[in-house]
Amino acid sequence: MNKFTADFLKTKKVIGMIHVNALPGTPNNKYSISSIIVKAIQEAELYEACGLDAVILENMHDVPYLNREVGPEITAAMTAITTRVKSKVSIPCGVQILAGANLEALAVANASECDFIRVEGFVYSHIADEGLMNACAGELMRVRKYIDAENVAVFADIKKKHSSHSITGDLDLRDFADACHFFQADSVIVSGSSTAKEANLEELQDLWKTTKLPVLIGSGITAENISKYWDFANGFIIGSYFKKGGKWQNTVLEENVVNLMNKIKSLRSLNIDC
């Protein structure tokens, strides 16, 4: 576990997801880089003002996604966006590049002085929307060392959403987390079956009892359900709930952010923490 993770996850954290507009070169692109940057900064500043602990930027509007390999235009755009966002807020920033473009995300995070990346397919193979995705831990961690980016934390999804896991049907979350620990990830992320879907609470509880790594919940958290997950995670990555109608494609509503953060404040006042 790197120093950032150890310090950052000493107490439970709320990480706001910024779904940047579709980037130039992708089918749904409508806006210039400068316009995309303005919107991303607005969301990051709103999240910080409302008391969130960090933000993560993701190119989720770039559908349909490529499998692992994205063009240089995506890497360059994400570097420009994250650099500007990082300069405008004082809270930690992270990066995820879909789908599974973890080497590119690491390069972006290192160049823009971001603090962590969200990594798909760190250990084991699975069938994602984009096709077969094999493990990347060996190459990713070597590149992290090679480019002197060990300050960038690796938060690894396990049994990731939008995927079939029949190949690893004999393994549970604990097996995935053990492999992530062995391969030197800094934290694991547990999600539901797709964006905005809740994580399986029973599986999460089993994982919490045994894993050596911090646990983040990566989907499905709302003001209504966070209480039942509070005891079993070091942090929460939240995006859809903050959006109009709870849909990730929509705009962020300040009232939704305030509503959830008020619930978080209530839970924290009970001194229920890591």
pLDDT tens-digit series, residues 59-90: 999 999 999 999 999 999 999 999 999 999 99
| Residue 215: pLDDT band with limits 50, 70, 90 | very high
pLDDT of residue 145: 98
Phi, psi dihedral angles at 250 (to 5 degrees):
-90, 180
Respond yes or no on whether the N-terminal peptide bond of residue 64 is cis (omega within 30° of 0): yes
Q: Is the pLDDT of residue 204 over 60?
A: yes
pLDDT of residue 112: 98
pLDDT tens-digit series, residues 124-156: 999 999 999 999 999 999 999 999 999 999 999
pLDDT tens-digit series, residues 185-200: 999 999 987 787 899 9
| Residue 5: pLDDT band with limits 50, 70, 90 | very high
- Name the token pair of 38: 């303005």
pLDDT of residue 271: 62
Strand 215-217 relative to strand 187-190, pairing? parallel
Q: Whose CA is closest to 140, among 130, 154, 160, 158?
A: 154
Strand 163-164 relative to strand 126-128, pairing? antiparallel
pLDDT of residue 272: 47
**Cα(216)–Cα(187) distance, integer angstroms:** 7
Q: What is the DSSP letter of 21?
A: P
Q: Is the pLDDT of residue 9 over 90?
A: yes
Contacts of 154 (CB under 8 A, 6+ apart): 116, 117, 119, 122, 140, 141, 144, 184, 185, 186, 187
102 neighbors 120 (Cβ within 8 angstroms):
yes
User: In the chain, what are the domains?
Assistant: 11-268 (3.20.20.70)
- The one-letter code for the residue type at 85 is V
pLDDT of residue 192: 87
Strand-by-strand arrangement of the 126-128 sheet: 131-133, 126-128, 163-164
54 neighbors 13 (Cβ within 8 angstroms):
yes
pLDDT tens-digit series, residues 10-27: 999 999 999 999 999 999
pLDDT tens-digit series, residues 232-274: 999 999 999 999 999 999 999 999 999 999 999 999 998 644 4
Q: Report the first-to-last Cα separation within the chain, whole angstroms.
A: 16
Question: With pLDDT > 70 as the criterion, what percentage of the chain qualifies?
Answer: 99
